[in-house]
Amino acid sequence: MIKVGIVGGTGYTGVELLRLLALHPQAEVVAITSRSESGVRLGEMFPNLRGHYDHLAFSVPDVDQLGGCDVVFFATPHGVAHAMAAQLLERGTRVIDLSADFRIRDAREWSRWYGQPHGAPELLPEAVYGLPEVNREQIREARLIAVPGCYPTATQLGLIPLLEQGLVDPLRLIADCKSGVSGAGRGAKVSSLLTEASESLMAYSVKGHRHLPEITQGLCRAAGAPVGLTFVPHLAPMIRGIHATLYATLLDTRTDLQKLYELRYADEPFVDVMPAGSHPETRSVRGANVCRIAVHRPQDGDLAVVLSVIDNLVKGASGQALQNMNIMFGLDERLGLNSPGLLP
C-alpha cells in the first residue's frame, strides 16, 4: 500500500485526487494538509466524500509527517512546492507537483511569467515533466514530477504527432482552447460566479497566458526546432472540460493523418484516437482520465485541424498525477483510473 500525502487539498485538484484515490486499490491517503482548514473533516468541506476518508481531517503541513509518506502530491498555488519539495526528497519521499512550479525548465522564464523568483532552481534538472505519452521512461525513475497543466496536456497531445514527424510548419501553430470554469479554481472571484460565467463565452488572456511557455517548451521538444504558437484560451459555461481546437499548416498533404495518430497512440491507455470524421465532446471524458482526439483536413486543404478534449481536473491534473504515481511505483498504469466518463 502506497502511503500518500496531499498538500493543499482544499481546491478542485485536491478534491479530485481524493475522489480518484478513494477507488485506488494500492494507495492510501494518510495525510492531507491545509493551513486554513486545519481540523476540518474532509466530508465537511466536500460532501461527496462523506463515508470515505472518515478518519481524516485537514492538518497543518508538517514536513516530518509528510516525510513519512511514500509520495506527496502538491495541489497548491505556485510557490508552495518550491518551498517544501527539497525537504521531502531528502527524506526519501517522492513528490508529484500539480502546480506550475517545476514545469518550465528555465528558471528565468518561469520567473517572468509568474512574477516572482523561482524558489528551487536547483531541483529543475531532476524534475521530470509528467506527460507519460512523451516521458514514460523518465517518469519511472523520477523523484520529482511536474504534472502538466490542463491546456498544455490537451494541446501537446493534439499536436505532437504532427510535429514529431515534421509534417507541419512549426512556426504557424494556433491553439484555440475552451475551458470549463473549474480551471479557474475554487477561489471566490466575481468572474467565476454562476451569474457571470454561465450563459456566456469569452476569450481571455489573449495577450499571453501562463500556459504559453509551457506548451511552447513541449512543442519545441517534439519538433526538435523552435515553434511559434498563438494560444487563445476561452472560458466556456460549464464546470469541467477542455476542448482544444488546433490548427497547423501541413508541409505535405499526402500523409494519412488518421493513420499517423492511430499509430502514435496505439499503445497509450489514455489517449483515444477517434474514427475519421469524428467530433469529440468534452462530456465524453467527464471524470475520466482520457484524452480523445480527432484529426481533420477541411476541404482537403493544407490546414490540419485537430480536436483534442480532456477533463481538465482528470487527464489535465489529478488523474494524470495518479497515472504518474502508478508509473513511478511500478504499478499497472491504469490502476484506479479506468472509470468511464459520466454521461449524461
Count of all residues that appear for the chain in the document: 344
CB closer to a copy of itself out of 110 and 270? 270
- What is the Cα–Cα distance from 125 to 116, expressed in whole angstroms? 20
What is the smallest separation between the CB atom of 128 and a copy of itself, expressed in angstroms? 26
In terms of Cβ atoms closer than 10 Å to its own Cβ (0-12, 13-18, 19+), residue 116 is: exposed
Residue 70 or 272 with smaller CB distance to a copy of itself: 272
Measured from the CB atom, the residue of 122 and 199 that comes closer to a copy of itself is 199
- The C-alpha cell at 330 is 511500478
Per-residue cell: 202: 469569452
Assigned C-alpha cell, 250: 501541413
Taking the complex as a whole, the smallest distance from the CB of residue 124 to a copy of itself amounts, in Å, to: 24
| Closest CB 42 distance from a copy of itself, rounded Å | 10
Q: Which residues are catalytic?
A: 150
In the bound state with a copy of itself, the residue whose beta carbon lies nearer, of 86 and 239, is 239
Cα–Cα distance for residue pair 273/276, rounded to 1 Å: 9
Question: 3-state class of 169 per DSSP?
Answer: coil
Of 167, 163, 157, 1, the closest CA to residue 70 belongs to 1
Q: Indicate the residue among 1 and 83 with the shorter CB distance to a copy of itself.
A: 1
Distance CA 330, CA 142 (A): 12
Residue type, 212: L
The least distance separating a copy of itself from the CB of residue 231, rounded to whole angstroms, comes to 8
CB of 338 to a copy of itself, least distance (A): 8
Rounded to a whole number of angstroms, the minimum distance from the CB of residue 74 to a copy of itself is 20
Distance separating alpha carbons of residues 146 and 5, to the nearest angstrom: 16
Nearer to a copy of itself, 45 or 331 (CB): 45
Q: Give the whole-angstrom CA distance, residue 315 versus residue 323.
A: 9
Report the interhelical angle of 107-114 vs 211-223 (nearest 10°). Answer: 150
Give, in order, the Cα–Cα distances in Å from 238 to each of 23, 25, 101, 155, 184.
25, 31, 27, 19, 12
